[in-house]
Amino acid sequence: MAASEYSDAIWCVADIANCPFANRQFKFILNILSPANYSEFQRLISDHGLVIKVVPNRDYLMELREIFYSGSDKQVYSNFLTTSHFNEQIKLVDVQNIRYQVNLGESLIEPLLGMTPLSWGASNERIEKVLQMNLKQVTMDFKILIGKK
């Protein structure tokens, strides 16, 4: 979908451990809510390029986390290890935080549950609880890490 909207951009999907691109070819790498391979990022990014990594912040989808992981150590999220690893691999130049609420209609709850890893380990009982409770809003809370070589 994104590719059809932005015809001037090159969109690609590749193996993060062995990207099929020449060294230092990219002015920026955007890594959103997914694993990172910093050795590949270092190889691919141009000398003055940027690595932009978006990670969940503490309140990301907290409404689901409270239901799926109530009473466990997963109920509260910390991105400390992820951000520390980024800082060890890439020179941090800026951090931005974005937090907002998303209104959910009935038609969006199932796709949300299907896409979030939070639901992947949840019991069918807890997933059904979310579906039945008619959740109206969820919290989006992100930390954007911007770094360079």
- What CATH number should be reported for the domain holding residue 20? 3.40.50.150
pLDDT of residue 76: 86
- As a whole number of angstroms, the distance between CA 50 and CA 83 comes to 16
pLDDT of residue 58: 96
- As a whole number of angstroms, the distance between CA 137 and CA 118 comes to 16
Assess contact for 67 and 103: CB atoms under 8 A.
Answer: no
* Domain membership of residue 134 as a residue range: 2-148
Per-residue pLDDT of the chain (149 residues; tens, 9 = 90+): 556 777 787 777 788 899 999 999 999 999 999 999 999 999 999 999 999 999 999 999 999 999 998 888 888 889 999 999 999 999 999 999 999 999 998 789 999 999 999 998 888 999 999 999 888 999 999 999 999 98
pLDDT of residue 70: 85
Phi, psi of 56 (to 5 degrees): -65, 145
pLDDT of residue 1: 56
Closest CA to 51 of 77, 87, 19, 78: 87
Provide the domain count of the chain: 1
pTM of the predicted structure, to 2 decimals:
0.87
Assess contact for 126 and 92: CB atoms under 8 A.
Answer: no
Task: Tell me the one-letter amino acid at 26.
Answer: F
- As a whole number of angstroms, the distance between CA 61 and CA 33 comes to 13
- As a whole number of angstroms, the distance between CA 81 and CA 24 comes to 27
